[in-house]
Amino acid sequence: MTLPARNQSKLQRAAAELERWLFDDALPLWWRTGADHAGGGFHDAIDHSGQPVVSHRRGRVQARQIYVYAAAGHLGWNGPWGEAVEHGLSFLTDSHLRADGLIRTLVAPGGASLDETATLYDQAFALLALAAARKALPDRADLEPMARRLLGELQRSRRHGPGGYVEVGEQPFQANAHMHLLEAALAWSEISNDSIWITTADEVSALALDHFIDPEGGFLREFYDHQWRPRAGDDGRLVEPGHQFEWAWLMARWGARRRHPRASAIASRLFETGLRGVDAKRGVAVNALWDDLSPRDDAARLWPQTEWLKAAVALAPGDETHALAAIQGLRKYFDSPIRGLWRDTLRADGRFRAEPAPASSFYHIVCAILVLREGRIQA
């Protein structure tokens, strides 16, 4: 039973406001306009006049939108979330799925391949989407074999000797893709009896504890060499506040599941590092710090605000201060002429960059609202 507004805490009222925006504005708009009902799949962006930006289709966006509408069903949205999930799954499997079971990165609006590359990052999001869809659609028993085949191909072709997986491109040894692989493995471990998922989560978490997280500073870097040592030069000094928060949430979640003795303390240190990246004047988490935690990029994208919120809910469940501050920061980005859209980048001067609303942000927003609803770590 929902409490009367006068009996709700400030955080409960703020959470209810976010859900109303999600249910009444964002989810209907991104299904009505953000989905390509003629050609299939989802558009990558909507401009602030409310028109879809017709361009290429990224595999990660299709996967994220599948997750969004599966999560919408879990949250209780009474719109056509099931139809949206099936719509996304059809395009992902018909247009993005390669013969080896991996997901190609880029296709044309009609589904023709534009880039056969299969990034580790995109595979992680495909696995997360399949887990969310399997949880939402109990009749889709075909989704777990598809996910197992994908993970099996990653293990066959992308495993790295000293641990973890190799990414394609100029930064083959990075934390970010592993972070989302951990997220996907945890999601599957909650709905599957196959031990491969929790084993994968354990392996990625061990890599983070042993290599990604600086043992003295307690922060997490982004890029490494082939021995998982910080990469030389400026690349090895990059610290992203949003990823400190995101890893804090994941380590707390994995640690609770596995009863790991160090995970809670590590998560707390990551959270504290993330807070070092919050600009008090604008009330937002910035994009990047150096490894001495001084400012590196003072612009602030939308997604770090959602990760700040998730980490605050997970790591300070009895203290509403940080969660409320993160919500206050996040709300700034919803200032669009079209309700249900968002701005993506707040510049250092306090003005938003003029650009369409990227569909890729929706996953971050919905995940934060879901964590806020649950208000606890799932053990």
The domains located in the chain, with CATH, are: 11-374 (1.50.10.10)
Characterize 60-86 residue by residue with b for buried, 16 or more Cβ atoms within 10 angstroms of its Cβ, and e for exposed: bbbbbbbbbbbbbbbbebebbbeebbb
pLDDT for residue 233? 98
Q: Which two tokens stand for residue 10?
A: 């400030």
Quote the CA–CA distance of 2 and 16 in Å, as a whole number: 10
Q: Which three-class secondary structure string do you get for 341-364?
A: ECCCEECCCCCECCCCEECCHHHH
Residue 296: CB atoms within 10 Å: 18
Quote the CA–CA distance of 40 and 259 in Å, as a whole number: 43
Longest dimension (CA), the chain: 58
What distance, in Å, lies between the first and last C-alpha atoms of the chain? Answer: 24
pLDDT for residue 1? 42
Q: Which two tokens stand for residue 34?
A: 């953000």
pLDDT digit of tens for each residue in the chain (379 aa)? 455 555 578 999 999 999 999 999 999 999 999 999 999 999 999 999 999 999 999 999 999 999 999 999 999 999 999 999 999 999 999 999 999 999 999 999 999 999 999 999 999 999 999 999 999 999 999 999 999 999 999 999 999 999 999 999 999 999 999 999 999 999 999 999 999 999 999 999 999 999 999 999 999 999 999 999 999 999 999 999 999 999 999 999 999 999 998 999 999 999 999 999 999 999 999 999 999 999 999 999 999 999 999 999 999 877 899 999 999 999 999 999 999 999 999 999 999 999 999 999 999 999 999 999 998 544 3
Indicate the pTM of the whole model: 0.96
Question: Residue 211: left (phi > 0), alpha (psi -120 to 50), or beta?
Answer: alpha
Cβ proximity of 180 and 128 under 8 Å = yes
